[in-house]
Copies of this chain bind each other. A is one copy, B any other.
Amino acid sequence: MITKLPQLKHDFTESLSQISRFWGFPKGMGAIFAVLYLSSSPLSLDEIVQQTGLTKGAVSTEVRALARMGLVQRSSKLADRKDYYEAESDFYQSIRSILKERQNSEFDRSLRSVKEMLEKLEAGVVSGNQAEVQFVHERLQALQDFFDAIDSLTRAVVKLEKLGLGNVKSILGVLK
């Protein structure tokens, strides 16, 4: 059974849409990236519109979000008013961008507030049953340690310019 290339591409955009939605991004975003990722040349906004079936407005906003995250690059041709977009093909680069983007969010604000609670506990300015205060202190400290470990690990991964099977193997060795 022969499969036609356009059909294959279409299936791929559907898969990436699912993956995108799974990670909390709009599914249209995944579709746009899929189309760009499988294109050997940069595409204009209208070409993306045509290949995804989305409207111009949607593509306009989503593609800008993708660019902000560093997942696509915007370019232009001389004597051509259109914008052209192409997918970042280095996924390690992409991941780094996404993580960086996420760090400046409300998520980080919540982490900071946990930190502030710990500081209060350490300063001894929390009133209540002392045994319970102690218990809460320990739990929050454990949580904080966990966050710190994850944070370090993330930073380490972000610093990599390439994460290949080689690195992973060495990591596995260390963790043994």
Which residues of A line the B interface, CB within 8 A?
A: 1-6, 8-9, 11-12, 15-16, 18-19, 22-24, 37-38, 40, 89, 91-92, 105-107, 109-111, 113-114, 117, 120-121, 125-129, 131-133, 135-136, 139-140, 142-143, 145-146, 148-149, 152-153, 156-157, 159-160, 163-165, 167-168, 170-175
- Where chain A touches its partner, the secondary structure class is helix
A121 to chain B, nearest CB (A): 8
On whether the beta carbons of B174 and A149 are closer than 8 Å, the reply is no
Give 10 pairs: A residue, B residue, CB < 8 Å, sorted on A.
Answer: A2-B127, A3-B127, A8-B126, A8-B136, A18-B106, A22-B105, A22-B110, A23-B24, A91-B143, A152-B168
